[in-house]
Amino acid sequence: MANGAEHSGNSQTSASSALADVIVARLTAIELAQNAMNGALGLMLDTLQAQMNLLRRLHEFAKDEPVDSPVTKVLRELVDAIMGLDASVGGVEKKFERLTNIIADAYGEDGVEKSSPVANGGT
């Protein structure tokens, strides 16, 4: 009968080990996907920042006109819209960072590395 109990204990240990392996693999996959998304968000922020800088320069040239022209109005609207997008994408990036930290806290730092804030697209 001791063999039956010993066999049952080994099965539970094997099942626990297999489950831990599956969890670590899934957390690693989540981390890789999140890193890819953070990279894409960073590129979006950088692109938005470059567009905003170009539009600001265009606006500076256009506002030298004596009358507030339709061009300056549209340029102001574009700059405002891009600033809104920049803030929105930055917010999404911060939420992904929080997700990484929550997962790391919940499952321990062995399976997932905590990320540090990425400074992209600062205005």
Q: Express each pLDDT in 21-43 by its tens digit.
A: 888 888 888 888 888 888 888 88
- Sorted by sequence, the CB contacts under 8 Å of residue 37 that are 6+ apart come out as 96
With respect to residue 120, please indicate whether it lies within any of the assigned structural domains.
Answer: no
Q: What is the pTM of this model?
A: 0.50
With respect to residue 73, please indicate whether it lies within any of the assigned structural domains.
Answer: yes
With respect to residue 115, please indicate whether it lies within any of the assigned structural domains.
Answer: no
With respect to residue 45, please indicate whether it lies within any of the assigned structural domains.
Answer: yes
pLDDT 10s digits, 53-108: 888 887 777 777 667 778 778 888 888 888 888 888 888 888 888 887 888 788 77
If you average pLDDT over each of 7-11, 50-54, 105-109, 111-115, which comes out highest?
50-54
With respect to residue 119, please indicate whether it lies within any of the assigned structural domains.
Answer: no
SS3 letters across the chain: CHHHHHHHHHHHHHHHHHHHHHHHHHHHHHHHHHHHHHHHHHHHHHHHHHHHHHHHHHHHHHCCCCCCCHHHHHHHHHHHHHHHHHHHHHHHHHHHHHHHHHHHHHHCCCCCCCCCCCCCCCC
With respect to residue 28, please indicate whether it lies within any of the assigned structural domains.
Answer: yes
With respect to residue 97, please indicate whether it lies within any of the assigned structural domains.
Answer: yes
CA atoms of 101 and 91, how far apart (whole Å)? 15
How many domains does the chain contain in total?
Answer: 1
Residue 10: give the domain boundaries. Answer: 2-107
- Sorted by sequence, the CB contacts under 8 Å of residue 89 that are 6+ apart come out as 41, 44, 45, 48, 121
Q: Which amino acid is at 16?
A: S
With respect to residue 116, please indicate whether it lies within any of the assigned structural domains.
Answer: no
